Structures are given as structure tokens and as C-alpha cells.
Chains A and B, each alone.
Chain A
Amino acid sequence: MNQIYSKLYDIVEEELSNVERQLPCSKTVYMMMTEQEPGVCNELAMQKLENEEFFQMAFISLLRRLPDEDSKRIWQYNIEKKDLVSFRTVLLDTLASSGEAISKGTRVINNVVVPVKQREIVLLNDIITDFVGDRKKREERQRIFDRVYKCYVKMPLPIRHVVRKVLGKD
């Protein structure tokens, strides 16, 4: 941890506490901000944050600003919910796909928002099924084409001309 940033935070926090105010974000969020590349939301690094801090850090990294009052109001219910997975997934999706994030050129990296116990390890069979499924569809399409082509070659020439015209081949 960078001691200078940490002590600086403490100094300012103490000044503000004398007038009963506080900084808008926690020290953890501040320290994380000073360590992150601007414009990059490193979800893996943010995993250890509490919901409220995760919310602040998501704004800082994706929208390059602190949450405004309206956003805090909208998300407060979700922040207080214990369901980490859905809150964090939806929050990152919403912010990352917003016009503001796109215009500011920000992006998410190392997205492991789903915790270990809930994550499904991808099975080999699932992927193979995909490939096999694709192949079956391709084979089916080929069979249909072959049948249609056999009918086409048996048609009289004038009719074949008409068919070609209709299909835009002439």
C-alpha cells in the first residue's frame, strides 16, 4: 500500500471531521483508485470490496467520476441487498454499456463477478454438443439443397430460366 496516499487520506479526513464532514469515498476505494489504470474497471481487484465501495469504484473506473445523488438513490436498495452476484453483474453491465462509459472509452477487465461456489465449470460435453449441433444443422441444410437441386435439373429449360430470373441469377 502506498503510504503517502494513505497518510494524505488520513490528514484530509481529520480536517473534515473537525467540521463534521467526511470524504465521499472510503480509504479503500481511494487507495484502489490510485492503483488502477484510469478507464479500466478491474472486476477481479474489486471483488474484495463491500457493496457500497464496489458501487463507488464502479463509477470511478467506468464513468471516471463519483456517483451522483440520483444514482445513489436508484441503486441504494440493491446496494443493501445481500445478493452480491446479481447486484454486481447488473451494475457493471448497466454502467459499462451506458453512453457515458462508451464516450469515455472505459472497459471492464478480469470479469469474475460470479463467486466460486456459484460458478459453473464449463463441461467438455457442452462445447462438443455445440459443435455437433452446428454440424447437424449444416448437414440438414445440405440435404435440403440436394433435394431441391435434383428437382431443378429435371425441370424443362424455359421453367429453369424463370426460376433463375426469380432468384436473380440472370
Chain B
Amino acid sequence: MKIFIDVTNLLEVSFVTGIQRVVREVVIRMLGKRKEEIVLLNYSALYSTYLQVDTDTFLTYYKDKQGDKTDIIIENKVEWEDFKAGDVFFDIDSVWEAFLRRSYLLPILKKRGVRLAVFVHDIIPITDPQYCFGETVFMFMDYIGAYLQHADIIISSTQSTLDAIANLQRKLSMPVTPGYATWLGADFEKQSRSEVVSEKAIEAAQAGNYVLMVGTIEPRKNHKLVLDAFDNQLFAEKMNLIFAGKIGWNVEELQKRIDKHSKLNKQFFYLSGMNDTSIDYLYNNAFCVAFPTFNEGFGLPMIEAFERKTPVLASDIPVMREVGGENADYFDCHDWKSFANKLMNWMKDEQLYHHMKEKLMQYEPLTWDQVTNNMWTALETLKNDKPYVLPKEVKQMVFLTARTDDLLGTLPFVEAFMPFIREIILCCPDKMVHEMQERYSGKLKIKFLTDSKLLGGRQLPADHAYRNFFLRCLAMQNSEIDNVFIMSDDDYRPLHEIDQKVFLKDNKYQAYYFYHLDKWCGNQTEPTSFDESMYRTTDFLLQHNMPLLMYDSHMPQIIDKRIFLEIIDKYPDIMDKGLSDWSIYFNYLSKYYADQVEVQPYVTMAWPGYATVWDWDIIPNQYLFENYYHELYEEENIFAGFSQEYYTGIETENFDKIIKYEQSQSSHCTAKQMFQAYRQNYDFLYGEYPFFGITFNEDGCRIDLPAYVTICELNFTRIPFVICDERKSKDSFSITYNFIDASKNVILEGADLTIEPRWNVLELPIKGTHGGLKGVMEIVVSYHNMSFKNYTKLCVMKKDNTKMLP
């Protein structure tokens, strides 16, 4: 399990104070304990990505206090793929000010199965927004809204803050996120004692007994109440008052009152810019510390006063009671008389006052080591329980099939290349049993789970996707199937000998994904049963807050039946929903058993069959299986001339097939890269990315095209058109493209595509002619016997041409 921590703010600030001080103390100690698990991140707005911070140079600067901050190495990009299911993203800093808003970041991480932990210092911008700067409130709403929805655990310094968060979630009609209170440490690194106490501080302290208030002067801290109490009563009782802290925001009236105060520098002192030694001196010599705040996250000044055995009078609010306990006394923060009376009690009753001081002799604040241990304990709760023991080996393969020929073609490959498989379970129609028994002559032991056995009188759904999911769910409930097995379709063929480690490695299930479900739009013309099943699966996973990777990788994958049955149990009506069994199972596994699964890119050749069928999301870095399509072996197709049947030594041919497929994949990637280069170039020239849009309204259709477009020769370039449909009827439309030369001749006509307007973005595949062409691209959109056109300059680039301008 990796723990990612965003330290961008900490690296930016020149003076570490407040929240950044907490971040520094916690991160140093977390690195001290389990450095190999921690990844520190710095967000680069310029590259719009996280960069990894080198932990050694980070510690050298922040812990050892050596060198310069510029010595900290920040280099490697951290891509989304580096965040894996089961990893933890832990936000400690004031990230509501970050460039990378959490409303955007957290859903992305969640979809990848990353667990989200956050340290919330307080939610004052929500509960008491009047005390905060407007922009801070606005940004904080984005941050806290995102974490309330997506966090797996909320850590805070106090139970009071957790209670406030829970109340907020109830107000928002949300389930309450598990919380953990850790407190804050007080053993901050002391400043160098070579600093001297300021003369102003000495003068103020020696003027007489005084009440001290430390901290920025702002409305929330309620300095006004204490000043009212002193003006009305306490100055007359010969008590002095010291405010130590800078002037904050929205205190203009109070500031004028301070500046013009009649007792200024006599009984009332305002000290700004005091070093730590001076603050220390003021704490040590104070009669007491006043803390009349309206709201706090923790109230560190209270702990600092306790450390110096100085009594504290604090607001009677839950967080102060929690942090101060019996060590402080409390008053109504809306009533100056309440404060004045409490103070007068101490002034008049020496015994009472000394009793408060004596209590503090026993006081020991929490250390940062203890606080960090508390945080580790909280983070450990994110690890899943492991009720199921993983097997050491897997020997069974389960096929769902209705095609004897395809299965008979695949089984020899399984027998030859997956020697650890000894038994096959076939979920098939009853009529297939006899034919298989007659025709199969291999060595694998085959058992049959026929439709009639599985259905037990139930009706089989007509739709392909509904039927498959229904049958698989039923099959899982059958005792013939092992607890852990390899699930496959009848056309998934291993390309060469493989080891069980492809499925089960280092005590983890290997899970292979090929797309992100929320990006899936199939071929966009006529959605297939498979496509519709993916859309339903996406909705289901979103509804249940699960990751959104697409595991229909068209290759055999390992399944733990016990976990599948858990899914069926948890969602009783799931069997009738026609979902993707692969994606439901593995996303559930990633969410609830993240420590037992390793998610990786898929390893299937010929999925897609033709490299241009859809836009590639994940590119395999090796091929272990083939998704067999007999069409690919027909004349003029990619595998024409290769054997479709197994024979001894077919591995050599398979390697040749891999090379051919990789070449077609590479061409597609080249076209995509060229299009990306064109977009960057366009942005450089015009200050914006090229925009392709189709807007429908009641008046008709508008086609927006950029000043020019560049595509790759001979390959399909998928150009994204943003679709905006303001019509009431939302009818389908057809779209095509033509290439026109300078003499107005149409030299290429694209195919007509009929599109249902359900997409926000349509990817139009446009085939390039031979490179070097400069002409015009015409886009034609038609519906209801109306036709709309627009034109732009076209340049078809040769693959090896570095010039990008038309």
C-alpha cells in the first residue's frame, strides 16, 4: 500500500506556520517510520500534473535543517496510472487553496480504487463563514464537499470537529464517514535560543500583572470581548492586558480602538512581530492566558500555555472543553461579564488560582510522535479485512459457451499453454454436451453445467448481455465450481505457455483492465448489447461508489467465487440487471479487497479486432492472449495466411501475429500522437486548442471548425466533436466528411455515420490520404432532409514529416 501526500503548499510557503507546521511535523515522522510506503507529491500547474518529491532531500531540509529548499529534488511525473487500487491518498494540508481542486481530483482517484483519507483541521468556513475571507469560504466549499462525498476516513484533531462534520453530513442527508480524532502535538522544534527577548515584551511584562492573548487579531478570536471586559472593569482592578499578534482582516474598527486606547503602553500593550523567545517569555510571566474564541479547530495556544504552566480562561465551547478539560476554566464568549467574573475569582481567591497552577504541573502535552502514531492507526483501518484465504494454486477453468466449434478450437491452446489447468467446467446448452463428448479428444477433464441444471426452470433472458450475466451468477452458486477458478469465454486463446503467476502472484489476484468505463462509448453508431451492458454497469458502479475500470479485457481472468457470491448477496436483484460480470466483480474486489488484488493493463491481442474500431485507452505492453476473431484470418485481413487451429510449434506463428498486430496498433498510436502534436501547435499559434463542435437548436445546425486541421496519412484520425443539442426532439443525425482540392474537386468521400445524440462528444474517424495533401475538409451534417456544411483547411501529414504548419 502506497500513501500519497500532497506537500505542494508546504514547499511553497517561505515561513512554516499554522497548518503547514502540522504537515511538516507529521510528514517527517511518517517518513521516519515507513519511508518506502510514502510518496510525496508537488503539483505543477505548468505541467498540469503531480511531480514526485524526493524524500531524502525533503528530510535533509525539513528535518535536519540543512541546505536550501531549492536542494529538494522534484522531478518524476506521477501519472494517474501510478495511483493503484488499495493505495491511499492522504491530504493533510490546506489544499482548498490548491490549483488541483478536490472536486476534480477525488472522483478520478476514486474511480481507480484509491482510498481517500483527509485530515480536517476544522470546518469553520462552513459553520461560521462570517469569520472567514470570502474566497476562502468559496474554495473550502469545493474541498469539503468533495471529501464529504468521497473520503473513506476523516481524521481530525478533535472529536468536536468530527461531530461538527457528522452533523453537516446529516444535514446533507449523507451517510456519516468514519472519523478518527488524533489531537495535535505540542513539542514543536524550538527556535534558536540565540534570539533575545524583545525589549517591548519585557517592558510590557514588567508593567504589572497581565492577561495575555496570543494570535492574529481577527473577528473569530474575539479580542473585542476581552477589551470590553478590561475597559468596563478589569483595568480598574489593576490588571494589565497584552495582545501579541499581527493585525488580521476585517478588524478595522478594533484596530482604531487599539491605536487610540487611553491605556495604550500603560496598562494595555499591543505587541506585533514578536519572535518565539519573546512569546515564550510573555507566556511564562502572564497571570493567565485568555482564549475567548468563537470557534477553533484545536486551540494550540491553550496547549502552549499549559506547557508553561500558565492558567487559561477559555470560551465555553465544545472544542475548548475537549482540549482544555479540567486544566482550564471557561466562560460565555458572548458576555464580557462572564469573562470578567471568572478572572476576578482568580484575582481575589489565591487558593483557587494556585490550585489551577498546580493542576498544570502534572500536565503533559501529546507529542508529535504520539499524534503521528494515532494517524497511522487511523490509516491502518483502511486496510481491508481478509476473511478469504487465497489458494496456492488454481486448477479449474470455467467457460460460458454455446459454440462447440469455437470452444474446440480454443481448448487445445489451453491444454498446451496453461498446463496448470486440469479441469474444465462448461456452462453450456444441454444440446452441446453430446457433441462435446463426441468431438473432444483432449486430456482435460470436462464437466458440464448445462442451462437446464443452472436455470432450474427459470427463463433465459433474450438479450446476450443479460443472458450471460444471469447464467454466470447462477453458475457461481454451483458447488462444482471451485472457490477460485479461471473464468473465460470460448474464444480467448493463450498465445504461448504461461504460468499461473499471470493470475495469482505474491498472494494477490491479478486483475486486467483495458478501459475506463466512464470513457466508453463503443463505436458510437449503433450501440451493441455489449455497449448497453457497459452503460448499465457504469451507472451501477457510480451508484455504489465503486471504481470505474473496465475489466472486459477478453482474456481469461481469475475469480474468487466467494467474493462473487458476496456481491450477489449484497445486491439481491443484481442478477437481472444485465451488467458486466467482469467489471462488477473486479471493481468490487478493488474497493473491498484492495490488498488482495493487483490491477494492471490487459494483455490481449485483437481486442479491438481492428486497431481503429475505438480509441485506445490502455495500450498493452505485452500480449499473452488472443481474442480470436475468424474474420481477421480471412483474405486481405491482418492474420490472413496464419493458422486458426492449434499445432505443435504454433508459438512461432503467434509471435509473428503479435508483430503484425503491434504494427497496426503502432499506426493508430502514430495518428493519435500526430493529432495531439497538431493540437499543441494550434494552441501555440492561436492561444487555444482547436475546437470541433456541432450545435443543434430549433433553427438548425451549426458546425464549428478550427482554422485548419492536420491529420496523419493513410490512418484513421479520431477527431472529437463536441455535441450540443438544444432541440426538444433530439433526433438522430448523419455526419460525413469530404476532402476537396484547390480546384474544388472532391477527392475523397467519407462514410456516412448515423449518430444517436446521446453523446456529448462524438469521435469522428477520418481517414488520411497519402501525405502531402493540402486542401479543404468539408463536414456535412444532415437530418430531416436538411443538410449543413462547413469547411476548414486540411493538411495530411506524412508520418515522418516534422513540419506541422499547412
Contact = CB atoms under 8 A, between A and B. Distances in A.
Interface of A: 2, 4-5, 7-9, 11-12, 15-16, 18-19, 21, 23-25, 30, 33-39, 44, 64-66, 93, 96-97, 103-105, 107-112, 116, 119, 121-124, 127-128, 130-132, 135
A105 B46 contact: yes
A109 B761 CA distance: 13
Contacts of B724: 44
A96 B171 contact: no
A34 B45 contact: no
Contacts of A127: 776, 791-793
A124 B791 contact: yes
A40 to B, nearest CB: 9
B365 interface: no
B104 A128 contact: no
B149 A4 contact: yes
Most A Cβ at <10 Å: residue of B142, B145, B149: B145
A81 B58 CA distance: 52
22 contacts: A4-B145, A5-B142, A5-B145, A8-B126, A8-B141, A12-B137, A15-B128, A21-B129, A23-B137, A30-B138, A33-B103, A34-B101, A34-B142, A66-B135, A96-B687, A107-B688, A108-B688, A119-B702, A121-B702, A124-B778, A128-B742, A131-B775
A146 to B, nearest CB: 23
A115 B467 CA distance: 49
B127 interface: yes
A38 B100 contact: yes
Interface in B680-694: 683, 687-689, 691, 693
Given A66-B135, A111-B691, A116 B704 contact: no
Nearest to B47: A105
Interface of B: 44-48, 99-101, 103-104, 125-130, 134-135, 137-138, 141-142, 144-146, 148-149, 168, 171-174, 683, 687-689, 691, 693, 695, 697, 699, 702-705, 722, 724, 740, 742, 744, 774-776, 778, 789-793
A149 B141 CA distance: 74
Given A116-B697, A127-B791, A132-B742, A33 B101 contact: yes
Given A4-B174, A37-B104, A39-B48, A9 B99 contact: no
Contacts of A64: 45, 99
Nearest to B144: A8
Contacts of A109: 688-689, 691
Contacts of B704: 112
A112 to B, nearest CB: 5
A124 B744 CA distance: 8
Nearest to A124: B791
A112 B697 contact: no
A92 B142 CA distance: 24
Given A30-B141, A38-B100, A4 B127 contact: no
Contact of A112 (B146, B691, B776): B691
Contacts, number: 148
Most B Cβ at <10 Å: residue of A15, A18, A19, A36: A15
Given A33-B103, A107-B683, A132-B742, A12 B129 contact: yes
B103 A34 contact: yes
Contacts of B142: 5, 30, 33-34
A111 B699 contact: no
Given A34-B101, A35-B103, A116-B697, 8 more contacts: A12-B141, A33-B103, A33-B142, A107-B689, A108-B688, A110-B693, A116-B699, A121-B703
A127 B775 CA distance: 9
B422 to A, nearest CB: 51
B45 A111 contact: no
B470 to A, nearest CB: 33
A111 B722 CA distance: 11
B791 A108 contact: no
Given A24-B135, A24-B138, A116 B744 contact: no
Given A8-B145, A109-B688, A131-B774, A44 B101 contact: no
B141 A39 contact: no
A25 B141 CA distance: 12
Contact of A4 (B100, B172, B702, B793): B172
B172 A105 contact: no
Nearest to B775: A131
B283 to A, nearest CB: 33
A26 to B, nearest CB: 11
Contacts of B103: 5, 33-35
B300 to A, nearest CB: 25
Contacts of B793: 127, 130
A7 B775 CA distance: 53
Contact of A44 (B44, B168, B722): B722
A36 B100 CA distance: 11
A111 B149 contact: no
B569 to A, nearest CB: 29
A25 B704 CA distance: 31
Given A15-B128, A64-B99, A107-B688, A124 B702 contact: no
A2 B106 CA distance: 14
Contact of A128 (B48, B130, B776): B776
Nearest to A7: B172
Contacts of A135: 742
Given A4-B145, A9-B141, A34-B142, A124 B776 contact: yes
A36 B774 contact: no
Given A34-B142, A131-B742, A111 B688 contact: yes
Contacts of B45: 39, 64, 103-105
